[in-house]
Structure 1
Amino acid sequence: MRPRLLALLCVTGSLVSGCGLLPGGHDRHTVTVWLMKDSASQDFLRRFTEDFERTHPDLRLDIRIQQWTGIVDKVRAALRSDAGDTPDVIEVGNTQVPLYVEDGRLADLTLESMRDWGKEDWLRGLAEPGRDGTTQYGVPWYAASRVVIYRKDLFAGAGITDPPKTRAQWLADTEKLNSGGDQGIYLAGQDWYTLAGFVWDEGGELAVRRDYAWHGALDTPAALRGMDFYRRLQALGHGPVDADEEHPPQAGVFAGGEVAQIVAVPGLADSIVRQNPGLKGKLGFFPVPGKAAARPGTVFTGGSDLVVPRNTDDQFAATAVVGALAGAKWDTDLARTMNYVPNKTTLAGAVAGEEGVAAMAAGAAHGRATPNTPEWAAVEADNPIKGYMTRVLRGADPRAEARRAARRITEELTPDLG
């Protein structure tokens, strides 16, 4: 951003940062940063700001808190703007990065990623959506992924001493739990994020890119194996086959008792205990099991990347902020403060003391994101995967339904081929 006099500097959002002049009368450059609501606590932002401004005496931070509702349109407008008050750094959802890359208005951060930021250790589920070909536009910041939340007392009552580490053992334990009168697992029929992990574990994909066009891939043998495992697991409970995990909210179902497991982010445990205080101290967490004990299952990884608009007035200052936020010191601080997964597999030890976050970090190390194309938003808008899952769980032919869903995905991702 352009230099501003002290009288003209101001701060908006939930973080108030100071304004002033450097000794000798030289004014500081202000770097405007857009962060999303609840991504970081005010205490974290205060501590980060104080440290950054101390170590970068020529810069000031203006951190502005944004709402998720309507953020895509707001970011796109900022990226196109020629006004002098546009942001220099923006936090965006990891799967949103392709939307902004398509507009061609993000700065290329490949060199910094390779030279200074240790990109080889980044979580795949955060790094891949931030990349277009060999160019890195989004820098991973933090992640969250699904784990299994379970009732320790119900596991003990069924004679299960240790959480399962393989999918085969998970099925066997869940069947044992289900036969005791409780639901072995509550798994809604349209929880397609969980299905995606099983598909990826089998070597399948939701969609693949061939000859510069995207094609749905749910009808491959590998993807069908993932759906078959989902069907077998979902049958060991009473989850509705025609609804997703939010209809009804699975936290409420679990809090109602007589449910041994759900697949969810660890933070949902707080909601469960608020609704049923009697479950305090009875909940545990383990990574979604994989096909072999040596590796947890693949899971969908959500979270945020940091991007720098091409229209920033000072890309050097903007990348300094990105480097600090995404660097080991403050990234691990954020993870501990907010119960996130750090952006690198090598930093997982920073959250080892929290059972739920540690389980999440183990899964996120093998996490994936949705297909790296801006058109994927159109798939989710009227998601054919959900209908496919419901029809299979009701007994329809999986291959025929997978072909139908794959065609729908292809039509949304590559309309000219539809």
Structure 2
Amino acid sequence: MRLPKIAAATAVVLLAAACGDGSGDDRPDGLTVWVMGTSQDALVEYFDGVEARFQESSPDTDVHVEFIPWPDAQESITNALAGGDAPDVIEIGNDQVAGWASQGALLDITDQVSGWDAASEMDQNALEYGTYNGVQYGVPWYSGVRTLYYRADWLGELGHEPPTTWDELVTVAEDIQEEYGVSGFGAPTDFTNGIASFIWSNGGEIAVQNGEEWEGRLTDPATVEAVEFYASLSTDGISPQGYVGENELVPLADMANGELGMYIDGGWALASMEEQAQDPAVLEDIAAAPIPGADGIAPAFAGGSALSVFSTTQQPDLAFELLTVMGDQEGGKGFADAAGFFPAYPELLESDEYQEDPNRAAAATQMQNTRFFPTTPRWTAADQDNKILPAAVLEIVRGGDAEEVLAEADEQLTAILNEPVE
């Protein structure tokens, strides 16, 4: 089935008017890139630059970019596998690499990556996250992490620095509530990314791989303690009851309107805050800091996207060449800056550009302490489809015994992660 050419914000962007010059070269007139999201002026300008760089070595090959809305990604890729229009290079969520690789959508690029100098400069954990069964199917394009948003003016008036530990988090939250009459911290229960940071910071795990089998770790004492603490933020009145059963979009609106002191979210939340703030002046008092952990900065899930070569491309070598232009330090930083994320190159995050801006500095610091979810196609089924961890937290908040709830959740998690990949 031919994918519709979506008008306006999600239109196909044709970055060059001229096609091949008829010289007889076997290179194609164009390569197609699928980018997830919607078209923006900054992104179109970025791809103009990508095409110009790419055409230095392939002057007769245009770069065609199609923006695919994230909600349509599953159907679009499935249709491409079934014989519909397909890209040569594709962006996918970094937690989706294993899933699409297992379905045959992505090309094995192990040899090409091993010979690409830029790969050694990337975040090696993020690069490893682009593998499945020991095969490289994707490389990190950009990264994004969550941080702690807080009311800097309130903390200043209270004489507090941003909290760096759980105890400090509770103290600051209680003082905010007492002084300003709003909840001090938001802890939504449908928030795996946030809950995971609490687990990891306490030395716990969600699941680990033992040989070819996955083993849930939700009954580990460190994990139980972390989940109990996170749940207690709701049961003890630190976090509003209105966030029980909700995701981070609910506290976002409250943060933007002066109804909350602190909560955890990513840099992408700032644009939403601007849209929802009834008084834009409030946003000037919102700052960011690394996520507080049990005894110091907590690890955060390193979200972001990977670049892959689609399995049906007729020009795999040329497609990988285009991938390198998009994904080297220049290309990776260019896209990250245009889209509001961070490049997947640790040394770039140490520059003044990231360290001197307070909000970017918080995320750049957080980027030095990241973790990843289980590298298995079954993680989506465990988390997005069955919401195993959020459901357990919700049940505990509603009065369930933590050890019993997590024991049952652990059995379910282990079973799902070990189901055969179709």
Query: What range is the shorter-chain TM-score in?
Result: 0.7 to 0.9
What amino acid is aligned across from residue 217 of structure 1 in structure 2? Answer: R
The alpha carbon displacement at 1:391 in A equals: 2.2
Give the alignment of 1:47-126 within 5 angstroms: 47-79=49-81, 81=83, 86-123=86-123, 126=126
Q: Could you say what secondary structure the match of 1:200 adopts?
A: helix
Q: Return the alpha-carbon distance in structure 2 between the equivalents of residues 24 and 211 of structure 1.
A: 53
Deviates more, 1:13-22 or 1:390-399: 13-22
What amino acid is aligned across from residue 283 of structure 1 in structure 2? Answer: I
Q: Which runs of 4+ in 1 moved over 6 A?
A: none
Q: Return the alpha-carbon distance in structure 2 between the equivalents of residues 32 and 249 of structure 1.
A: 37
Provide the residue aligned with 2:377 in structure 1.
Answer: 374
Q: How many percent identity over aligned positions?
A: 25
Provide the residue aligned with 1:3 in structure 2.
Answer: none
Matched, 1:344 2:348: no
> Any conservation in 1 of the 2:99–2:376 contact (CA below 8 Å)?
yes
What amino acid is aligned across from residue 240 of structure 1 in structure 2? Answer: G
Q: What are the superposed Cα offsets for residues 273-312 of structure 1, whole Å, 9 maximum, x if unpaired? A: 442323031111111124455xx32112221101112332
Provide the residue aligned with 2:170 in structure 1.
Answer: 171
Q: Could you say what secondary structure the match of 2:182 adopts?
A: coil
Distance 1:165 1:21, change over 3 A: same
The alpha carbon displacement at 1:138 in A equals: 0.8
Q: Return the alpha-carbon distance in structure 1 between the equivalents of residues 241 and 124 of structure 2.
A: 31
> Any conservation in 1 of the 2:232–2:397 contact (CA below 8 Å)?
no
Q: Return the alpha-carbon distance in structure 2 between the equivalents of residues 343 and 405 of structure 1.
A: 33
Normalised by the size of structure 1, how large is the TM-score?
Answer: 0.86
The alpha carbon displacement at 1:117 in A equals: 4.2
Provide the residue aligned with 1:323 in structure 2.
Answer: 324
What amino acid is aligned across from residue 322 of structure 1 in structure 2? Answer: L
What amino acid is aligned across from residue 144 of structure 1 in structure 2? Answer: G
From 278, 285, 290, the equivalent of 1:287 is 290
Provide the residue aligned with 1:204 in structure 2.
Answer: 204
Q: What are the superposed Cα offsets for residues 50-86 of structure 1, whole Å, 9 maximum, x if unpaired? A: 23223432432122222222322322442453x7x63
Distance 1:34 1:239, change over 3 A: same
What amino acid is aligned across from residue 69 of structure 1 in structure 2? Answer: P
What amino acid is aligned across from residue 406 of structure 1 in structure 2? Answer: D
Provide the residue aligned with 2:136 in structure 1.
Answer: 136
> Any conservation in 1 of the 2:166–2:292 contact (CA below 8 Å)?
yes
> Any conservation in 2 of the 1:150–1:285 contact (CA below 8 Å)?
yes
> Any conservation in 2 of the 1:167–1:290 contact (CA below 8 Å)?
yes
Distance 1:227 1:17, change over 3 A: same
> Any conservation in 1 of the 2:143–2:303 contact (CA below 8 Å)?
yes
> Any conservation in 1 of the 2:34–2:66 contact (CA below 8 Å)?
yes
The alpha carbon displacement at 1:49 in A equals: 1.8
> Any conservation in 1 of the 2:243–2:250 contact (CA below 8 Å)?
no
Give the alignment of 1:19-418 within 5 angstroms: 19-22=18-21, 29=28, 30-38=30-38, 41-79=43-81, 81=83, 86-123=86-123, 126-160=126-160, 162-180=161-179, 181-234=181-234, 235=236, 236-240=238-242, 242-246=244-248, 249-274=250-275, 275-276=277-278, 277-293=280-296, 296-348=297-349, 349=351, 350-379=353-382, 380-415=384-419
> Any conservation in 1 of the 2:325–2:331 contact (CA below 8 Å)?
yes
Q: Could you say what secondary structure the match of 1:62 adopts?
A: strand
Q: Could you say what secondary structure the match of 1:174 adopts?
A: helix
What amino acid is aligned across from residue 63 of structure 1 in structure 2? Answer: V
Which blocks of at least 5 consecutive residues in structure 1 are unaligned? 1-11
Q: Could you say what secondary structure the match of 2:284 adopts?
A: coil
Q: Return the alpha-carbon distance in structure 1 between the equivalents of residues 202 and 32 of structure 2.
A: 44
Deviates more, 1:381-390 or 1:20-29: 20-29
> Any conservation in 2 of the 1:308–1:319 contact (CA below 8 Å)?
yes
Provide the residue aligned with 2:17 in structure 1.
Answer: 18
Q: Could you say what secondary structure the match of 2:307 adopts?
A: strand
What amino acid is aligned across from residue 96 of structure 2 in structure 1? Answer: Q
> Any conservation in 2 of the 1:15–1:42 contact (CA below 8 Å)?
no
Q: Return the alpha-carbon distance in structure 2 between the equivalents of residues 26 and 113 of structure 1.
A: 26
Deviates more, 1:165-174 or 1:134-143: 165-174
The alpha carbon displacement at 1:22 in A equals: 4.4
Q: Could you say what secondary structure the match of 1:182 adopts?
A: coil
Deviates more, 1:142-151 or 1:121-130: 121-130
Distance 1:326 1:117, change over 3 A: farther
What amino acid is aligned across from residue 19 of structure 2 in structure 1? Answer: G
Q: Return the alpha-carbon distance in structure 2 between the equivalents of residues 309 and 266 of structure 1.
A: 29
Distance 1:224 1:241, change over 3 A: farther
The alpha carbon displacement at 1:151 in A equals: 0.9
Q: Could you say what secondary structure the match of 1:64 adopts?
A: strand
Deviates more, 1:148-157 or 1:46-55: 46-55
Distance 1:206 1:415, change over 3 A: same
Deviates more, 1:50-59 or 1:278-287: 50-59
Which blocks of at least 5 consecutive residues in structure 2 are unaligned? 1-10
> Any conservation in 2 of the 1:341–1:351 contact (CA below 8 Å)?
no
> Any conservation in 1 of the 2:15–2:63 contact (CA below 8 Å)?
no
Q: Return the alpha-carbon distance in structure 2 between the equivalents of residues 112 and 318 of structure 1.
A: 11
Q: Could you say what secondary structure the match of 2:12 adopts?
A: coil
What amino acid is aligned across from residue 366 of structure 1 in structure 2? Answer: N
* Cα-Cα RMSD: 2.6
Q: Return the alpha-carbon distance in structure 2 between the equivalents of residues 213 and 304 of structure 1.
A: 26
Normalised by the size of structure 2, how large is the TM-score?
Answer: 0.85
The alpha carbon displacement at 1:239 in A equals: 4.3
> Any conservation in 2 of the 1:149–1:266 contact (CA below 8 Å)?
no
